């Protein structure tokens, strides 16, 4: 189950947990964001962070940090997409992934994200970003609605 932060303090704690596990985020911040956590066997196993909301264009960035496999159940993923496309009202959900993180790129592909672009040197010299996205229409046709 994906549990949304109920207070600003919970949100800050979840954001920090994610920042600590995403290499290019260390020492940084997502800025204004909404966070949810996945708890399994009494431990926080993953955090999803929605940030970079652009209301005029209805675009939203998703970032996910985890401590390993097993957190991404069908229910968690459906709740994650429901938040983005129904609660937030996004038209486009996008993600930025380091190009050398092949596991995360493949995970996004299996979820239905399309590979849109490569941003050269986005995370420093020689460290490129792969941008992936899913539209509301693609979500409506997917298994995650």
Report the pLDDT value the prediction gives residue 23, as an integer from 0 to 100: 87
Over the stretch 74-116, which tens digit does the pLDDT of each residue have? 999 999 999 999 999 999 999 999 999 999 999 999 999 999 9
Give ∠ CA 108-114-116 in degrees, rounded to 5: 115
What are the extents of the domains in the chain? 2-140
Q: Does domain 2-140 have CATH number 3.30.420.40?
A: no
Query: In sequence order, what are the residues at sequence separation of 6 or more whose Cβ sits closer than 8 angstroms to the Cβ of residue 63?
Result: 18, 22, 25, 30, 48, 49, 51, 95, 96
User: Which pLDDT band, with edges at 50, 70 and 90, does 49 fall under?
Assistant: very high
For 114, phi and psi rounded to 5 degrees? -100, 145
Query: In sequence order, what are the residues at sequence separation of 6 or more whose Cβ sits closer than 8 angstroms to the Cβ of residue 140?
Result: 85
Does this model's pTM top 0.85?
Answer: yes
Over the stretch 10-22, which tens digit does the pLDDT of each residue have? 999 999 999 999 9
């Amino acid at each position: 189950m994906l549990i949304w932060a109920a207070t600003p303090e919970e949100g800050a704690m979840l954001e920090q947990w994610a920042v600590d596990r995403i290499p290019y985020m260390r020492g940084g911040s997502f800025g204004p964001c909404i966070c949810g956590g996945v708890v399994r066997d009494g431990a926080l196993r993953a955090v999803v962070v929605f940030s970079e909301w652009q209301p005029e264009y209805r675009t939203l960035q998703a970032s996910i940090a985890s401590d390993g496999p097993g957190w991404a159940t069908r229910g968690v993923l459906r709740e994650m997409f429901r938040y983005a496309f129904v609660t937030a009202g996004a038209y486009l959900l996008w993600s930025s992934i380091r190009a050398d993180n092949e596991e995360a790129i493949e995970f996004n592909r299996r979820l239905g994200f399309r590979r849109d672009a490569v941003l050269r040197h986005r995370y420093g010299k020689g460290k490129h970003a792969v941008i992936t996205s899913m539209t509301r229409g693609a979500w409506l046709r997917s298994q995650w609605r």
